[in-house]
Structure 1
């Protein structure tokens, strides 16, 4: 059993407990190999020496590798520097937060280039920096600032002191520490946010269990896990579990970031023998409550020490040891008290969750209205085929009207999304658009959201722009008269060979590193987006099989292995004329990477 779980643990600061770990203890694992705490300690001490000699007091941490992130976090604690977590690594958005930090720590070779701030790339090397040999005493504090969307749409800084983080860690240890002992920890969520920071980095460091250095991107990666394991996941990840994935050895599944469907929770329990534990909370509040959904409308149980009261307009009035002080916090979430806790009724502001990403509708509107094409914008969430996405109702400028007429609705939307990409996450990019001469207002001067939503009702099955509106990518897409997708040569892989077999057309492709699809997806670990794989299949089916048809839907998508720059792969295309479906699969060295079915309209 971990020393941190002994009854004497409350007497010891958890930062000191982390620092007291033995150098030989396994701390992380991944494609790079196993790493032990001595490596983490040496890396943190070396970086702390560099930070201590710098005048920069606040350092933005932007990492894909969780071990290097942990090194940077501990180095900030050792050197008394503030760690700033921007939330994501988009250069334009990071630049806008520039006043919130003085330097950048990253494992990306490009992120710091062009920045006005000093930056350091990890791991440090002797050639780049003088590596101090000083041994450091255990850190006593960690000052942290997270950035999240505020109610006005502007990024909001959330300061976190170590006593807040430690209080929550002790609760998590009490609730689930025993179940995690002896496991190795996998995660599908980023360490750049509070949920991943606590569950993916700090908790395993305290419990002395190894964590994965890289993300678990696909559910198929869970198949064949060896030894006891646990998973820190999102509802979106758990919604993609294949019935064939089941496996033994799972001790715990945690889900947070959004609502987990009862069917998805049940399926995870059946496949892995562990019903997911859902955690409800936010960057501001920390964890508020938890539950395991055994039936519909399972109430939320407040965390130990947390009190949930109902204020005016059904809003949550929160008393929590994870807040900065003893003052209660009035939250935007609406609740209804139940015998065993409370039920969530939704939010009272314009912050929503889309695929576990916290999205400010106000920010999306602000970004739209900053474009030369848009005079006014109203953005609202829509539900299409059980999936949430954003719709935008626009009043266009004269330039925007010209572009609308020239490009047509579908390509206009693609170009619009491209202009928004430097600032917004992909999930926050509008996928439906309607254009009006003026935006309506009620007699009280407010937006009639039900009327705006009605603009999209009834038209969702008959889309304005064909496949690009359903699955817009970058603006290197054209359309034939039939509506089929045709891609420009600069966006295609190198076609090395094509062979027609009895069952399929097989194309051997080289994924050239300069292809635009790898840019920003993801920084430091580029991989080919799934939507691009679908579009390539449609393109080659049209060009080589004569299937010059419009997109009609897709199903049975599976992504088992990532496709990376420089790789060669084989694309198999099979046309099922009786079903009107194109079957595609990508293989690397004979092993499946991805597959799916695309329905093509006659």
Structure 2
């Protein structure tokens, strides 16, 4: 087991050491190099006015240096989970300035060679603060202020629970982001406190995990989103040879995913259960514990009105925190999860349980996973459903089409939920959208239904002259945003949207100059409306001598639209 450096006095300890603190494709970072970088950030933050500073940096090494630099400059660090426009807008009320890869972000002007006189006093456990945000998986992200004492206590609990089983020189590989509590603890604070090499960068793809394994012992910090979709054809032998532990958090891991991970990676994942509010609560390995969760060291739990309540040093005070999870007592002081409390919303003054709708969809043999989200449509607030079909559902979608699958799912829901709870928008996907923590947020689900372009299947070109022509089938699904407001009860694709589709898709296959500027449309005809569920055949022809794009949209019902778009050189 590696020497324990702790968190509050980490920088003073690193100033006396020379071990590797981070590793990545670009090489390693030693303790002296890291201390110089922290000193540079400390100097930059000390010179910056204001108390609260938002910080976002993709590189884990640079992020860690900036975090400790800000803390040693007395700053309260605010960690946005992403750089979405709505996230940045919310930061304006919480931060006096931005650092790193945020708009107008602060960066050190140069590396600093710390003077021998530069001291690194221990960070004050109650005055060193970081604001983090909940994932937004069950609603809008909420801000949570953490004291260093809470983070330090959780890091020590992780070391007590798992540290003895890890080799001293084990490297950390990660697919999750340090901007959230799970990644901050497992990829930054715990490795640094245990004199272990943290990851320089986050791995996004399974192939990157295999390449990063190398030949030295490693542990993998990941999420169910990655472990549920492990490619069977990928050669995992390199991972099996070096991985000593696999951690997963962000949601319970399905039994089949846990079995896949054990087969491919050679390790049964250690699942860590908790939340941004509570920190880590409990852990399990399905291969040993099945559904039973064991509390982490120092965590007490009890049943409170049928819900899980916890008390630990990971919380801001000594009180009990009631979670939204139903639990049942299990052997050896553990518990099993029995579902979350219903998420209740009102639609047309009727109470609708989002949980009930999702459970009814997931109970269908045609569905592998399903999530629903509230959408503001022209008819008012309604539900949208993002569905990952099962093998049988995917077969129905491919063989009988979208309408057949929709009819089957609506019939299933019709027996289980009120008519007002039937989703008005549907999207079928190979996997649920997820963020760097493997969480599916409400914002990401809403983004699914903001699509403006239909699904496109381009037809193969057969001759040299086809370089100036192209054809494709457009699947006009009812979840396209262009149907909002056009028109309630009788949705159609607006003519301007049809022209926009042509202009947006043509450069994918034709040599339309990237700087071409729209001038006018000639011989434009709209012969028939396009409604949801229509399979539209689009033909395009680029006429370079005229800088013109001829198009025609048709379907089994006949022609819908045609015309010629004239372009010119872009204005300078």
How far off is 1:148 after superposition?
2.2
Which residue in 1 is equivalent to 2:109?
A: 125
Which residue in 1 is equivalent to 2:103?
A: 112
1:436-515 matched pairs, under 5 angstroms: 450-452=417-419, 455-456=422-423, 474-477=451-454, 483-484=474-475, 488-490=502-504
In 1, distance between residues paired with 2:536 and 2:187? 40
1:320 corresponds to 2:302: no
Corresponding residue to 1:298 among 272, 291, 296: 291
Structure 1's unaligned 5+ residue stretches are 114-118, 351-360, 414-431, 435-447, 462-468, 498-509, 514-537, 551-602
Contact 2:352 2:421 in 1 (8 A): no
Which residue in 1 is equivalent to 2:465?
A: none
How far off is 1:81 after superposition?
0.9
Where 1:274 maps in the other structure, the secondary structure is coil
Distance 1:454 1:339, change over 3 A: same
Deviates more, 1:314-323 or 1:280-289: 314-323
Where 2:326 maps in the other structure, the secondary structure is strand
Which residue in 1 is equivalent to 2:321?
A: 329
How far off is 1:470 after superposition?
12
1:201 corresponds to 2:188: yes
Taking structure 1 as the reference length, the TM-score comes to 0.61
Where 2:323 maps in the other structure, the secondary structure is strand
Which residue in 2 is equivalent to 1:311?
A: 304
Distance 1:543 1:336, change over 3 A: farther
Which residue in 2 is equivalent to 1:78?
A: 72
How far off is 1:239 after superposition?
0.7
Taking structure 2 as the reference length, the TM-score comes to 0.64
How far off is 1:152 after superposition?
10
How far off is 1:481 after superposition?
11
Distance 1:539 1:213, change over 3 A: farther
In 2, distance between residues paired with 1:131 and 1:379? 58
Contact 1:23 1:37 in 2 (8 A): yes
In 1, distance between residues paired with 2:210 and 2:164? 24
Distance 1:394 1:213, change over 3 A: same
Contact 2:454 2:474 in 1 (8 A): no
Q: Figure out how many residues of one structure are paired with residues of the other and give that number.
A: 425
In the TM superposition, what whole-angstrom CA distance separates every residue of 1:128-164 from its partner, at most 9, and x where no partner exists?
Answer: x999867232442331111226899554321111111
Which residue in 1 is equivalent to 2:256?
A: 263
1:99 corresponds to 2:93: yes
Corresponding residue to 2:123 among 125, 137, 140: 140
In the TM superposition, what whole-angstrom CA distance separates every residue of 1:40-60 from its partner, at most 9, and x where no partner exists?
Answer: 211111121221222211111
1:172 corresponds to 2:168: no
In 2, distance between residues paired with 1:207 and 1:297? 30
Which residue in 1 is equivalent to 2:222?
A: 233
In the TM superposition, what whole-angstrom CA distance separates every residue of 1:326-346 from its partner, at most 9, and x where no partner exists?
Answer: 111122221111123111112
Where 1:43 maps in the other structure, the secondary structure is helix
Where 2:27 maps in the other structure, the secondary structure is coil
1:388 corresponds to 2:370: yes
In 1, distance between residues paired with 2:294 and 2:260? 22
Which residue in 2 is equivalent to 1:274?
A: 267
Contact 2:12 2:119 in 1 (8 A): no
Contact 2:224 2:250 in 1 (8 A): yes
In the TM superposition, what whole-angstrom CA distance separates every residue of 1:77-126 from its partner, at most 9, and x where no partner exists?
Answer: 211111111222213322123221111112x2xx314xxxxx314xx334
Structure 2's unaligned 5+ residue stretches are 387-404, 408-414, 429-445, 457-470, 477-497, 516-534, 542-552, 556-572
Which residue in 1 is equivalent to 2:236?
A: 246
Distance 1:262 1:150, change over 3 A: closer
In 1, distance between residues paired with 2:84 and 2:191? 28
4+ runs deviating over 3 angstroms: 129-134, 149-155, 374-384, 391-395, 469-474, 476-497, 538-544
Where 1:199 maps in the other structure, the secondary structure is helix
Which residue in 2 is equivalent to 1:182?
A: 169
How far off is 1:320 after superposition?
1.3
Contact 1:23 1:39 in 2 (8 A): no
Which residue in 2 is equivalent to 1:217?
A: 204
Which residue in 1 is equivalent to 2:46?
A: 52
1:20 corresponds to 2:9: no
Distance 1:185 1:549, change over 3 A: farther
Distance 1:220 1:540, change over 3 A: farther
Which residue in 1 is equivalent to 2:29?
A: 35
In 2, distance between residues paired with 1:540 and 1:25? 62
In 2, distance between residues paired with 1:151 and 1:217? 20
Q: Which has the larger radius of gyration?
A: 2
How far off is 1:200 after superposition?
0.7
Deviates more, 1:296-305 or 1:183-192: 296-305
Name the Cα RMSD after superposition.
4.6
Which residue in 2 is equivalent to 1:500?
A: none
Distance 1:450 1:473, change over 3 A: closer
How far off is 1:392 after superposition?
4.3
In 2, distance between residues paired with 1:35 and 1:375? 58
Which residue in 1 is equivalent to 2:438?
A: none
In 2, distance between residues paired with 1:30 and 1:303? 30
Distance 1:488 1:139, change over 3 A: farther
